[in-house]
Amino acid sequence: MRKRVTIEMIAKDAGVSKMTVSRAINNPEKLKRGTLIRILNSMKKHEYKPRFVARILAGSRSNTFGFIVKSNEDFVIPPFYGECVRAASNWFKKHSYRSMIFNMSDEQSASLFIDYVNSGLIDGLILFEGTHEKSLLKALKSNDIPVVLVGEDPEGTYDFYSVSSNNYNGARMAVEYLIAKGSREICYITGIGTKPSVEERLRAYTDVMCEHNLEAISVPAENTLRGGVKAVEELIEKHPSFDALFCFTDLIAIGALRGLRKRGFDVPKDVRVVGFDNIHISEYVFPSLTTVSQDMTLMGEIAARTLLQIMDETQPNDSEKHVKLPTRLIIRESA
Amino acid sequence: MRKRVTIEMIAKDAGVSKMTVSRAINNPEKLKRGTLIRILNSMKKHEYKPRFVARILAGSRSNTFGFIVKSNEDFVIPPFYGECVRAASNWFKKHSYRSMIFNMSDEQSASLFIDYVNSGLIDGLILFEGTHEKSLLKALKSNDIPVVLVGEDPEGTYDFYSVSSNNYNGARMAVEYLIAKGSREICYITGIGTKPSVEERLRAYTDVMCEHNLEAISVPAENTLRGGVKAVEELIEKHPSFDALFCFTDLIAIGALRGLRKRGFDVPKDVRVVGFDNIHISEYVFPSLTTVSQDMTLMGEIAARTLLQIMDETQPNDSEKHVKLPTRLIIRESA
DNA sequence: TTGTAGGCGTTATCAT
DNA sequence: ATGATAACGCCTACAA
């Protein structure tokens, strides 16, 4: 193992003090041209890289942001969050910040992430729905970590900035579309938990059905492919006469497609199916999925931009506290 | 912002020196019961958390491992790697290590990761195929970072440990199966680049076709859904009479299914399709995908176990240098 | 424009 | 079993 190259060695080599080398790195404009060049050369020659942890310990910003995402059975980074992350991460990059993903799937990952945060390794965070646990939010708040939520804050008690889609309108569109197409016995495969997205989409479904004097029937499912299959089976058991399914997510919908086929149903002839999210693969499955599209790229960008604004107190902050993005109905083969 | 709780404050509060508190954290067995309890209580009272970066700077291990994964157009963490990561990460967890994912998609992410590694924030790495770039491997080698490759080392020059599937045998199985089923005009949608997996699967395809006096026709595709669609279009253009497709990955195969359907081909009646990887979703698409299964869980576990063995020099190291895992043909609806 | 001294929070080493 | 001191590598504040 080669011995580590430190700032001190560069200083000695370039015939200056450590401080001058430090300036060469952080405020090069404050140095005389000659000195700067000499130092730069020496750094290159010795392949000097400042040691990240030392800078942090001495008080520097990390210029690094984190994403906290919850895995599911099918994906370590579920596609919907993945696209938001990609967009946010590009935004950060454009502004010379770096970013990294923490997948919060267990205690162990949580501990790592907490260590990072309270060590100064992370300057700010974007939390995706599913990770908005009270204890976590509280910890972040009390440590003064800048945070933006993707998805609404379930409690609202911590007053974080948030970016989400208009879940209610999106779900309404989907159900109204199914009704317009002639479906009457529309069942809803809902999500699990008390997340706002779950509650709003369910409420929209119930409202629309009610407005049309149709019976609202919903069953819950894990947000996974398998969850979709199981929900369909439950539905066939309990309400075999449905002629359409609205699903909490595309993942569930794709599972539902499989479940329906297994039982001999044709989509869309026997049963129309609509999902939510418009993840990449929904366009490729058969039948391709009619779905409510969330603009993940825009969500990611807004989340990133908001976070930067929160942190940069010198700039005027024109970010809305709670952004709600419109959704679009994407009509494909399944309904 | 609450003032940071440091080891010094705990020491004062518990009436001992910093060193003793440090011991309470790292070698509790060396303390007298009473002292230990007093310190522990004080730590709890003040919600003391050791500062990660300070420990690292002072010479501690991070007990953290990293995964380096390459994103693609469809997924930030492609499903195949995702499953390996999940398995490896569980293995680490079981041994009280933590892990994190770096997605190497650009310069910016690379810089973060390099900072981490040469700061001591990462004790070892698992690199997935697609990230085995010469410059990276060289840097890791010269910094003495313990590394395990998933997928074979394309160069072989750096002598890293590696875990991969037997790509050649897997691909042979697939092609032989297609022939046994009666297909004769079997085209291969191959991958891009010079990765061993690309070369071996292609070689297997060519060999088998040759052994049966069949013409080998292959077109390259990006490893994405869209790549599959495009390859099918190219194939229909150039060799419209094919009756089977073997695809470099499931992602490509799923794209191919869509491409075929768009052009009115029925799978498997007109064209049989076989993929490679057996990612989760392949079981759910329609027709469900016949594919060559790699045991991602086992790969992940072996990679993790090997890495731990490399690092722990006290233990005898019984890891093979280059593990090659067997594959299985999973027969479903598409062929 | 450049240098000096001190501190960031922890652990290692050597004492006691 | 516990403590004192130095070291890790960098940056801030002040001085020259």
Q: Considering the domain boundaries, does residue B40 fall inside one?
A: yes
Helix (H, G, I), strand (E, B) or coil at B276: strand
Q: Considering the domain boundaries, does residue B55 fall inside one?
A: yes
Mutate to test the interface with A, among B60, B61, B75, B257 (most CBs of A within 10 A): B75
User: How much is the pLDDT for B136?
Assistant: 82
> What six digits make up the tokens of A54?
């030392």
Q: Which domain holds residue A54?
A: 1-60
User: How much is the pLDDT for A152?
Assistant: 87
Q: Considering the domain boundaries, does residue A78 fall inside one?
A: no
% pLDDT > 70, chain B? 98
Last residue of a domain, one of B44, B60, B76: B60
Closest alpha carbon to A277 in A242, A236, A325: A325
Nearest CA to CA, how far is A133 from chain B (Å)? 19
Residue B6 vs residues A287, B49, B121, B190: alpha-carbon distances, Å: 59, 8, 20, 57
Chain A residues in contact with B75 by the CB 8 A cut-off are 75, 77, 79, 82, 280
User: What is the tally of structural domains in chain A?
Assistant: 2
Name the least confident of A80-94, B249-263, B301-315.
B301-315
**pLDDT at A278 > cutoff 80:** yes
Q: Considering the domain boundaries, does residue A249 fall inside one?
A: yes
User: How much is the pLDDT for B153?
Assistant: 80
User: How much is the pLDDT for A39?
Assistant: 94
Strand C atom within 7 Å of B4 CB: yes
Chain B residues in contact with A278 by the CB 8 A cut-off are none
User: How much is the pLDDT for A15?
Assistant: 92
Last residue of a domain, one of A45, A60, A75: A60
Q: Considering the domain boundaries, does residue B162 fall inside one?
A: no
pTM of the shown model: 0.93
**pLDDT at B251 > cutoff 70:** yes
Strand C atom within 7 Å of B18 CB: yes
**pLDDT at B214 > cutoff 90:** yes
Bases of chain D within 7 A of a CB of the protein: 1-5, 7-13
B304 vs A260: CA distance, rounded Å: 39
CATH number of the CATH domain containing B231: 3.40.50.2300
For residue B163, give every residue at least 6 positions away whose Cβ sits within 8 Å of its Cβ, in sequence order, or none.
B148, B149, B150, B299, B302, B303, B306, B322, B323, B325
User: How much is the pLDDT for B319?
Assistant: 79
CATH number of the CATH domain containing A37: 1.10.260.40
A175 and A290 belong to one structural domain: yes
Chain B residues in contact with A54 by the CB 8 A cut-off are 57, 119
Q: Considering the domain boundaries, does residue A39 fall inside one?
A: yes
B116 vs B123: CA distance, rounded Å: 10
pLDDT digits (tens, 9 = 90+) for A245-272: 999 999 999 999 999 999 999 999 999 9
∠ CA B268-B271-B272, rounded to 5°: 60
B109 vs A26: CA distance, rounded Å: 21
Mean pLDDT for chain A overall:
92
Q: Considering the domain boundaries, does residue A118 fall inside one?
A: no
pLDDT digits (tens, 9 = 90+) for A193-236: 989 999 999 999 999 999 999 999 999 999 999 999 999 999 99
User: How much is the pLDDT for B316?
Assistant: 67
Residues A102-114, mean pLDDT to the nearest whole number:
80
Last residue of a domain, one of B12, B28, B60: B60
A304 vs A67: CA distance, rounded Å: 10
User: How much is the pLDDT for A210?
Assistant: 97
pLDDT digits (tens, 9 = 90+) for B83-138: 999 999 999 999 999 999 998 877 777 778 888 888 999 999 999 998 888 878 88
User: A62 with A69: CB under 8 angstroms?
Assistant: no
User: B6: which nucleotide lies closest, measuring CA to C1'?
Assistant: C9
pLDDT digits (tens, 9 = 90+) for A290-323: 999 999 999 999 999 999 998 876 666 777 889 9
Q: Considering the domain boundaries, does residue A122 fall inside one?
A: no
A158 or B258, which is more confident? Answer: B258
User: How much is the pLDDT for B223?
Assistant: 96
